[in-house]
């Protein structure tokens, strides 16, 4: 697929403002539970993701100062700008949780109004709040008043299939003082089975009327799909989740294209391997050799998937117990 130069979005400013916070680019890493540790955030940032958000922080653990959770909230300057994501429905819990994360130095607080998980929605968190726009507005307002940093919100197109509460909630969020809205163009009930709907993102862009930046999210897996999402929705930035795991080059390709129209070539095997090794090193350093290695093996499927991993190679990766064994598999893949 080639990029349609006619559709290239042209922004006078290569970045944007999230309230008082400067963001130097328009391709952003999405929060994903299990794919959000510091080494990944650092790599994505270096490769052009203009900001990151933590995965959804468990409020019960946060408010009882769970040591493991608190350790996970520490981050380095090379991961910034970094937001902390929270999901709750009771202002009496959400406000202290937001104040608590701010103590860790996060650049902004992100409120999750899109989480589709049953457990969270049953408690009225995440996407469930799309059905309670007034409550959502009051919650956002309470957090905006309580914290000194900008507050962003992440919503979905709607709750049930075909529902489109996202636009109203986005407008109310901005009325409440949110400095950025991110919208994933699917409903809660559609999970990943329904297609991402650019029209739902466009509706949010319209509802917000340029008062704050709107970030479009859903199914960006390539420069082409990023350009299409910009063109079809008028969004100010794109957020990328699954498509950037093992492919941080995507941020750089989008960023450079937006700035100059230049299309970077896809990375060659050796380049991918060098970055994968670095990621593995960082995981081992952060989590210890055993846990870091096992997490790192999982990333191998993402980094090397594009080089045609057959079932046998996948099984060899899964079975590797040491770095040397994994390197043997990669040697074989390089020579294939």
The residues that are catalytic are: 115
Are the C-beta atoms of 189 and 160 separated by less than 8 Å?
yes
> How many whole angstroms from its chain centre is CA 202?
19
Name the residue with tokens 């962003």: 152
The residue (of 59 and 218) whose beta carbon lies closer to ligand FMN is 218
Q: Which region, judged by CB under 6 A, interacts with ligand FMN, from 9-17, 167-175, 198-206, 213-221?
A: 213-221
CA R_g for the chain:
20
Q: Which region, judged by CB under 6 A, interacts with ligand FMN, from 16-24, 28-36, 89-97, 263-271?
A: 28-36
CB of 129 to ligand FMN, least distance (A): 13
Q: Which two tokens stand for residue 199?
A: 């029209």
For the segment 49-68, give every residue that binds ligand FMN (CB under 6 A).
Answer: 55-56
Under rule CB under 6 A, how many of the chain's residues touch ligand FMN?
A: 20
The residue (of 110 and 168) whose beta carbon lies closer to ligand FMN is 110
Name the residue with tokens 């650049």: 107
Q: Is residue 154 close enough to count as binding ligand FMN by CB under 6 A? A: yes
Q: Is residue 219 close enough to count as binding ligand FMN by CB under 6 A? A: yes
Q: What is the maximum span of the chain, computed from C-alpha positions, in angstroms? A: 59
The residue (of 131 and 298) whose beta carbon lies closer to ligand FMN is 298
Q: Which of 83, 198, 241, 267 binds ligand FMN (CB under 6 A)?
A: 241
Q: Is residue 114 close enough to count as binding ligand FMN by CB under 6 A? A: yes
C-alpha span between 241 and 30 (Å, rounded): 5
Are the C-beta atoms of 265 and 3 separated by less than 8 Å?
no
Phi, psi of 59 (to 5 degrees): -65, -35
Q: Is residue 166 close enough to count as binding ligand FMN by CB under 6 A? A: no
Are the C-beta atoms of 51 and 81 separated by less than 8 Å?
yes
Q: Is residue 31 close enough to count as binding ligand FMN by CB under 6 A? A: yes
Strand partners, 240: 29
Residue ranges binding ligand FMN (CB under 6 A): 30-34, 55-56, 85, 112, 114, 154, 184, 217-220, 240-243
């Amino acid at each position: 697929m080639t990029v349609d130069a006619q559709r290239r979005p042209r922004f006078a400013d290569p970045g944007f403002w999230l309230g008082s916070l400067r963001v130097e680019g328009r391709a952003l890493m999405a929060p994903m539970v299990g794919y959000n540790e510091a080494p990944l955030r650092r790599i994505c940032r270096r490769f052009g993701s203009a900001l990151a958000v933590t995965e959804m922080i468990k409020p019960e653990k946060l408010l009882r100062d769970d040591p493991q959770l608190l350790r996970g909230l520490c981050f380095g300057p090379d991961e910034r700008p970094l937001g902390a994501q929270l999901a709750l429905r009771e202002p009496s819990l959400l406000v202290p949780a937001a104040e608590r994360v701010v103590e860790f130095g996060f650049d902004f607080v992100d409120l999750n109004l899109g989480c589709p998980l049953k457990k969270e929605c049953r408690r009225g968190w995440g996407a469930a709040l799309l059905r309670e726009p007034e409550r959502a507005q009051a919650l956002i307002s309470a957090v905006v008043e309580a914290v000194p940093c900008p507050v962003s919100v992440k919503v979905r197109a709607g709750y049930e299939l075909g529902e489109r509460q996202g636009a109203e909630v986005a407008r109310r969020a901005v009325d409440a003082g949110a400095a950025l809205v991110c919208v994933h163009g699917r409903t809660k009930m559609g999970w990943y089975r329904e297609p991402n709907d650019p029209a739902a993102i466009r509706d949010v862009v319209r509802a917000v009327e340029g008062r704050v930046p709107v970030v479009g999210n859903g199914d960006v897996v390539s420069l082409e799909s990023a350009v299409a999402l910009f063109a079809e929705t008028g969004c100010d930035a794109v957020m990328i989740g699954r498509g950037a795991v093992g492919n941080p080059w995507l941020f750089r390709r989008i960023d450079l294209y937006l700035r100059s129209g230049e299309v970077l070539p896809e990375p060659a095997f050796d380049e991918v391997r060098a970055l994968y090794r670095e990621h593995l090193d960082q995981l081992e350093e952060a989590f210890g050799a055993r846990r870091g290695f096992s997490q790192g093996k999982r990333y191998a499927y993402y980094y090397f998937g594009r080089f045609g991993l057959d079932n046998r190679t996948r099984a060899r990766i899964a079975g590797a117990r040491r770095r040397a064994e994994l390197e043997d598999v990669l040697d074989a893949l390089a020579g294939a």
